[in-house]
């Protein structure tokens, strides 16, 4: 089976949905942020502080390139992974299906407001809402499938599993 790339805004449930799907369908779970943190032995915030956003985006691209020859994976991407560079979306789409988890801003905000995420650190809620709105349009353009994630991650995962089993996504 082709890889399934989950995309969406910070806090939309990508990692939670990916964990459920990988367990239920016996797919390999890959979280691009975790892979970067393990490779560099630093958290994302530290990477941004020490090396900057472009360096981090380079690391994301390298992971997507490494995944080109894999299959049977569910991949939770960072919020900006597929948007940081046009080639990143192309890499994901050539290696599988991109699923956008469309989650209301308020839900994302509640999940991320107290986190140490570099793109929201010291930003106002209105700044983050503006970033959310900009990104949402981009996610919709690149995604193979858009799933509404307005209830729970388990409900969203069940919807996605149904699509996969019905071969609407392969």
Burial class (CB in 10 A: 0-12, 13-18, 19+), 54: exposed
* pTM for the model: 0.94
Checking if the pLDDT of 138 tops 60, the result is yes
| pLDDT of res. 46 | 95
Checking if the pLDDT of 39 tops 70, the result is yes
Phi/psi-derived region of residue 52, left when phi > 0, alpha when psi is between -120 and 50, beta in every other case: left
Checking if the pLDDT of 167 tops 90, the result is no
| pLDDT of res. 168 | 63
3-165: CATH topology: Rossmann fold (3.40.50)
Q: Give first-to-last CA distance, the chain, whole Å.
A: 6
Q: What is the pLDDT of residues 95-116, one digit of tens each?
A: 999 999 999 999 999 999 988 8
Q: What is the pLDDT of residues 77-95, one digit of tens each?
A: 999 999 988 899 999 999 9
User: Domain residues of the chain, as ranges?
Assistant: 3-165
Of the pLDDT bands very low, low, confident and very high (cuts 50, 70, 90), residue 170 is: low
| pLDDT of res. 169 | 65
């Amino acid at each position: 089976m082709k890889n399934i790339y989950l995309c969406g805004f910070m806090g939309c449930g990508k990692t939670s949905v990916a964990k459920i799907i990988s367990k239920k369908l016996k797919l390999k779970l890959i979280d691009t942020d975790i892979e970067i943190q393990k490779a560099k032995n630093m958290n994302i915030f530290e990477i941004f502080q020490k090396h900057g956003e472009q360096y981090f985006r380079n690391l994301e691209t390298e992971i997507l390139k490494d995944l080109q020859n894999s299959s049977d994976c569910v991949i939770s991407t960072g919020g900006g992974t597929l948007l940081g560079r046009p080639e990143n979306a192309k890499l994901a789409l050539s290696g599988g299906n991109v699923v956008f988890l469309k989650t209301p801003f308020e839900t994302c905000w509640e999940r991320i407001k107290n986190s140490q995420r570099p793109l929201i650190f010291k930003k106002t809620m209105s700044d983050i809402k503006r970033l959310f709105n900009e990104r949402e349009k981009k996610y919709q353009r690149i995604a193979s499938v858009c799933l509404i994630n307005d209830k729970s991650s388990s409900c969203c995962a069940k919807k996605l599993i149904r699509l996969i089993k019905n071969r609407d996504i392969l």
